[in-house]
A = this chain, B = another copy of it.
Amino acid sequence: MSIRVGVVGASVYSGAVAARLLCAHPHFTLAFATSDRLVGEPLDRHLGVPTPAPMAFEPNASAVALGDRADVVLLATSAKVSTELAPTFLEQGKHVVDLSGGFRLEKAGDYARWYGFEHPAISWLSKAHYGLPELYGAPARDGATLVANPGCYPTASLLAIAPLVRAGLVEPTGIVIDAKSGVTGAGRQATEEFSFGEVDEDLRAYKVLSHQHTPEIVRHLSRFADGVRLTFTAHLLPVRRGLMATCYARPRAGTTAAHVQQCLADAYAGRSFVDVVAPDRVSLARVTGTNHARVGATADGDVVIAIGAIDNLLKGAAGQAVQNLNLLFGLDETTGLSHLHRTAP
């Protein structure tokens, strides 16, 4: 089986990582890759991996015309662009995996509020499959399928806390998620704000009370409990890759440390990509370079703490996209991902 996958936006970090994974995948073939910045440049040189045949970056504007070459299109574009492109490809009968937030929320109004644009394709919001396999399973392949690939912060947060909410071990209100991400989470940046001189040796919170991943986490926790209320804060870390979400919730009466640990162990028993460990063994260095998440939880009478860590570009973006593609086509979810190992020595 060889499934052809095109990548729109293949020079942004997540798109480049996706293209690289596709080049090394035994069942997928990179059909095309677009990037306005690198039009005409050879792919292998920029990705640092061999391509099956010599390929060059195509202009973004040619993406729709290139759709014919692919069975699936992976969008590493801004939310606004994704909401415009995805329906076009879907109407061509292509499957779409969208790395942006363009189809992760439920209500059109949330886009105006959190993303600052009017959503042009609201009929697709309810049809999109939220691609967090450990919580939602495989996307159904029934005609052209739209997979909304989860955000990096929601992936780490939901993997850590959602099983505890689902099991009723914690109150659904008053949840606090204090999250920290490496710089590549913001994509390639040519701004002073993300220059080495401004990020190195620093830490700062950003978009306090206004981060667009907040409604995404709320929406998906709300599938497991009524009345979810939470606070989400993002911080910028001076590391290239890696993201950690430290989640706090109030325990329901009787919840103990043993309960929450067991709950996570049960939730991920048999899953390839989520490792349940003690909370102080959830670290960036143990996951960066891999498609694995690490999660761990503990509790005392006042609080449940659940910590999740991922590589923001892999399990938080391109790796999870490939995992979703594997599932969409009935492959083992680890196909083309099991050779990844952590970067830390």
Contact = CB atoms under 8 A, between A and B. Distances in A.
Interface of A: 13, 16-17, 20, 24, 47-49, 173-174, 176, 178, 180, 182-184, 188-192, 194-209, 229-231, 233, 235, 237-242, 244, 246, 248, 250, 279-286, 288-290, 298, 300, 302-303, 305, 307, 309, 313, 339, 341-345
Given A242-B203, A279-B208, A345 B231 contact: no
Contacts of A289: 289, 343
Contacts of A184: 197, 345
A302 B339 contact: no
Contacts of A229: 302
A301 to B, nearest CB: 9
Given A178-B178, A195-B188, A197-B184, A283 B339 contact: no
Contacts of A194: 195-197
A345 B17 CA distance: 7
24 contacts: A17-B345, A24-B341, A47-B341, A49-B341, A174-B174, A180-B180, A180-B203, A183-B195, A184-B197, A188-B195, A190-B191, A196-B196, A196-B198, A201-B239, A202-B242, A202-B344, A203-B242, A203-B244, A204-B281, A208-B279, A233-B246, A238-B239, A240-B344, A240-B345
A159 to B, nearest CB: 16
Contact of A239 (B203, B313, B342): B203
Contact of A183 (B180, B196, B235, B341): B196
B202 A280 contact: no
Nearest to A207: B280
Contact of A345 (B197, B248, B286): B197
A108 B250 CA distance: 30
Contacts of A240: 196-197, 200-201, 344-345
Contacts of A230: 302
Contacts of A284: 201-204
Lowest 3 CB-CB distances: which A-B pairs, in order?
A178-B178, A204-B283, A202-B285
Given A48-B341, A205-B279, A305-B233, A195 B197 contact: no
Nearest to A299: B209
A264 to B, nearest CB: 14
Given A190-B195, A198-B285, A345-B313, A280 B17 contact: no
Given A17-B345, A24-B339, A205-B280, A200 B235 contact: no
Contact of A20 (B191, B201, B341): B341
A341 B180 CA distance: 26
Contact of A285 (B190, B201, B235): B201
Nearest to A192: B190
Nearest to A249: B176
A298 B208 CA distance: 8
Contacts of A239: 200-203, 238
